[in-house]
Amino acid sequence: MNIFIILVCGINIRAHNRIALSDQLRLLRTCPQLMSINHVGDKGSYLVTTKYDAPRTVETVLCALSKQCSTISGAAVCQPSEIQSALEALTETLSNRYARYFSKDDFGLKIEGEQWRAGLAVPLYPMKLPQVALPFHKTKNALIFGAADGAVLVVKREARNVHWGTSVTDPSERQIKRISNCSVTLTSRSANIMNDLLTYSR
């Protein structure tokens, strides 16, 4: 039996790729290979139990969802242990750098009076992060703190119209391309969502 975290890229992002959560679950439950399906939110964040390996699990999830939305670009697949390790690295990095301004309880960060939220960006299957050191990088709405356990450690400013995709994923991809000359497509989630998914595996 295998347990995977599946992060589908681009579901229910503003007006794009709209699939109601009830429809997502209905489609996924038509797949007998997915023995259990847990979700957090409605943007394609799942923890699944299956007899399949990672490639066939991603294929099964995307095939099911494509029956209603054929424009989904892909999904990341991670072992819960990988996400756990990446979250621990993220927590340690932000605790050491920001001390009391970082909350380990909700992964929130206060910078100059503004609220930010920590998260992870992970590559779509079958891509992997190149083995290079990502330096600290700051934009108006995102902070990139490097990579650990196959994930980019990121923080997003919490503000209207500041989204994980355009604000965090895009600059992370550009940094990877600049440093390594490799093109990697990422999908990102808040650390809260990642942590909630992990609770289903414990």
pLDDT digits (tens, 9 = 90+) for 143-169: 999 999 999 999 999 999 899 988 999
pTM of the model: 0.96
What is the maximal distance between C-alpha atoms in the chain?
A: 50
Q: How many domains does the chain have?
A: 2
Gap between the Cα atoms of 117 and 51, Å rounded: 35
Are 99 and 39 found together in one domain?
Answer: no
Please give the pLDDT value at position 88.
98
Gap between the Cα atoms of 128 and 36, Å rounded: 26
Per-chain mean pLDDT for the chain: 95
How distant, in Å, are the alpha carbons of 54, 73, 108, 146 from that of 149? 17, 23, 21, 11
Q: Which residue has the tokens 């991670």?
A: 78
CATH of the domain at 15: 3.30.70.1280
Spell out the residues 6+ positions from residue 132 whose beta carbon is closer than 8 angstroms to its own: 176, 179, 180
Are 156 and 168 found together in one domain?
Answer: yes
Are 44 and 31 found together in one domain?
Answer: yes
DSSP letters along 103-128, please?
-TTT-EEEETTEEEEEEEEEEPTT--
Q: What is the mean pLDDT of residues 157-182?
A: 94
Are 99 and 183 found together in one domain?
Answer: yes
Are 73 and 84 found together in one domain?
Answer: no
Are 166 and 86 found together in one domain?
Answer: yes
- Determine the structural domain holding residue 59 and report its residue range: 2-78
Please give the pLDDT value at position 120.
98
